[in-house]
Structures are given as C-alpha cells and as structure tokens.
Amino acid sequence: MANSTTAKTKAVEPAQPANMMGVIAPAIGWLIPGAGHLIQRRWIRGLLLLISIGALFVLGLMMQGHIYKANGGDILDILGFIGDLGAGGMYIATLALNGGQGAIAFAIADYGTKFMIVAGLLNFIAVADAYHIAIGKKQ
C-alpha cells in the first residue's frame, strides 16, 4: 500500500550566531531586572520590567515576607530559594542588609514571601526574553 502520508520535515531554525550581547544581556538582566532590555535600547519594556519586578520584590519585603537562603534543607525552602535567587541583585542586597527575616506569622507576610518568589521567577522569564532579543529571535 502506498504511503499516503507525506513525510513531515521539521523546519530547522538556522543557527544563531553567538554574540557578546547574548551573554551580557541575560547576566545584567539577572542582576538588575529590565537592564537586559535597557542595554539593547528597549527602553519602555526595560523600564516596565524594572518597575514591575522591583515593585513586587520591594512590596514583598515591606509586607514582612521571608527570604529563603541556600541552606534551607527542606525541599520547599530550596524551591523558595531558587525563586528568590531569580531576583538577582535585589536578593543579594537583601541578604547583605539582613532583610527578609519575617517569620510568616500572618497571611499578609505569607503573601509578601510569595511576592518575592514570584518577582524572582518573573525575572527569570525577563532574562530569557532579553537573551532572545540579543540573539535576534525576537524583536
């Protein structure tokens, strides 16, 4: 029997040339949210990312949220640490200033903790976006 289905050929994307911006933009974007876009002259996007991620993290701190450290031990603490780590420079500065020591004794403090974790996770997405712009995959 003749094979009626045609062989689907996968569209192979052309290899993106490696460039310096592909390394610098994600790195600086991780340290300072939105900076990966700003150095690529995406001013409005960069500023909106900086304001949004920065405000979420700072609000989380002001709501007496808890910040996780690397030596959590508990699996949920480790996941929280990975989320917090995404905030980059803000996370490092908070640790250096001994902030984020809330005990999560009430609901709003728990929300604050989640705000900071989500700020870090959103920054991971922003870093990936900055990388895609740097390699020309996105405008």
Q: Is 129 in the site for other proteins (CB under 8 A)?
A: yes
Binding to other proteins (CB under 8 A) within 1-60 occurs at 45, 48-49, 52-53, 55-56, 59
Q: Report CA 52 to chain centroid distance, whole Å.
A: 12
- Closer Cβ to other proteins, 72 or 136, answer by number: 136
- Closer Cβ to other proteins, 21 or 121, answer by number: 121
**Which residues have CB under 8 Å from 119's CB, separation 6+?**
33, 53, 54, 56, 57, 60, 86, 87, 90
Beta-carbon neighbour count of residue 44 at 10 Å? 9
CB of 21 to other proteins, least distance (A): 18
At 87, which amino acid appears? Answer: A
| Number of residues counted as binding other proteins (CB under 8 A) | 23
* x/- map, 98-127, other proteins, by CB under 8 A: ---------xx--x---x--x---x--xx-
Site residues (CB under 8 A) for other proteins?
A: 45, 48-49, 52-53, 55-56, 59, 62-64, 107-108, 111, 115, 118, 122, 125-126, 128-129, 138-139
